Amino acid sequence: MSAELVEQYQEILPLETHCPLCRRPSSRSDATSEHIIPAWLQTRLSLRDRLLTLPNGRRRHYRSVRVDICSACNNQRFSQLENRLTRIWDRCACDESSFYDASFEIADDDVAAWLGKMFWLLARLGFETPDPTTRNAECVDTVVPQDLMPFMTWLGLYVASYALEKRALSCYSDDTADPANYGRSYSLYRFRIDDQGQPIERFNLIDHYLSMGIAMRLGDLGLVCLYDDELHARWRSAYYADLSSTWVHSVQFSEIVARMFYDQLMLHPLARDFTPFWNSSLDAVITCNGFKRGADPYWGLSDDPDLYADMLNRVMPDGTHAQIERVGDQFTTFLRDRAGNLWDVVNNCPRSTA
């Protein structure tokens, strides 16, 4: 099953006949309707009647964003993870402790799989749904454009490997066939968010297909996960290192997300090329990244300030775009001043990060 999984991962299996998570055949009697944004989150954060913006700009109620998955995925593999998260959330809500601190009780692999599952199911649903904005066009497209889906199938393979309790690892094109070289398939970041007592939304979900990234703000926890064979963590994490030891405002978190998504658009094309293979001794899917291990795959990071500004405006909450000031190729924003120092939101001043 697992070698077959790798061989056929680019095939998009119909939702009517196969589970979109584990790819196993699934009959109607076996299928269970899954809230893509977990029901426990919708209940606790009063999201059910709120609107989720789709990639085509249309909005749907969170409660209606559902897809059928098999009972094994819904009631076993993923429900165990959801139950752990729910217990931690409820405990923190009860004693008013930090969800950010408690989140480290959940391993990175599990957090990445949890976010990846949401990301993948949103993509699958969008891939199946005709885009009403194109209904008068010569070719009617789907909410997630058809030509984007082959690029996303690697995420589907990653999620399937977790669903089937297999490992997912990565290597680079010039690596020898030595398991010691194998690393993670993703870059995951956790940030502590402090809004200084201001009444703000406690939840936000941002995804970007071309960046292969998803971000979520959940109370005082900000998560960013990039499904990139760990390239960002290896080559770009130093830029964000000072942020991991402090708190950030929720608007600053949105800006971090924009910056990380922008980083991913600057990846060399070969670094976006994934070739998976099956390693039976490790019981793992290994993705061979097209780039070489020792070379920086991020090129032209400062070459496209307009694209960066566009990403900022796409990700930032409504009404904050006016805070972005451009001087030449430099931006002064909520996160860093023109000299690159981190803004201290509490004292409303820049502080040295040296």
> Where do contacts with Zn ion occur on this chain (CB under 5 A)?
19, 21-22, 70, 73
Coil, helix or strand for 104?
Answer: coil
Q: Are 218 and 233 in contact, with CB atoms under 8 Å apart?
A: no
Nearer to Zn ion, 21 or 188 (CB): 21
Nearer to Zn ion, 67 or 224 (CB): 67
Least distance from Zn ion to the Cβ atom of residue 26, Å: 6
Produce one character per residue of 313-352: b if its CB has 16 or more CB atoms within 10 Å, e if not.
eebbeeebeeebeeeeeebbbbbbbeeebbbebeeeebee
> How far is Cα 67 from Cα 121, in angstroms, rounded to an integer?
7
Query: Which stretches of 54-148 are DSSP H helices?
Result: 71-72, 78-95, 99-103, 108-128
What number of other Cβ atoms are within 10 A of residue 2's Cβ? 16
Nearer to Zn ion, 159 or 315 (CB): 159
Reported as type and span, the H/E element at residue 168 is strand 167-172
| Token pair of 26 as six digits | 């699934």
Q: In this structure, which amino acid lies at residue 291? A: F
In degrees and rounded to multiples of 5, residue 309 shows phi and psi of -60, -40
Least distance from Zn ion to the Cβ atom of residue 69, Å: 5
Nearer to Zn ion, 25 or 179 (CB): 25
Nearer to Zn ion, 67 or 215 (CB): 67
Nearer to Zn ion, 73 or 271 (CB): 73
What number of other Cβ atoms are within 10 A of residue 3's Cβ? 12
Least distance from Zn ion to the Cβ atom of residue 73, Å: 3
Least distance from Zn ion to the Cβ atom of residue 294, Å: 39
Least distance from Zn ion to the Cβ atom of residue 179, Å: 28
Least distance from Zn ion to the Cβ atom of residue 164, Å: 9
Nearer to Zn ion, 19 or 155 (CB): 19
Nearer to Zn ion, 26 or 56 (CB): 26
> How far is Cα 84 from Cα 110, in angstroms, rounded to an integer?
11
Least distance from Zn ion to the Cβ atom of residue 79, Å: 12
> How far is Cα 108 from Cα 85, in angstroms, rounded to an integer?
13
Least distance from Zn ion to the Cβ atom of residue 21, Å: 4
Nearer to Zn ion, 70 or 188 (CB): 70
What number of other Cβ atoms are within 10 A of residue 135's Cβ? 9
Least distance from Zn ion to the Cβ atom of residue 18, Å: 8
DSSP class of 228: S
Least distance from Zn ion to the Cβ atom of residue 330, Å: 48
Nearer to Zn ion, 31 or 260 (CB): 31
Q: List Cβ neighbours of 351 (8 Å cut-off, separation of 6 or more).
A: 341, 342, 343, 344
* Backbone dihedral region for residue 185 (phi beyond 0: left; psi -120 to 50: alpha; all else: beta): alpha
- The interaxial angle of helices 108-128 and 78-95, nearest 10 deg, is 110
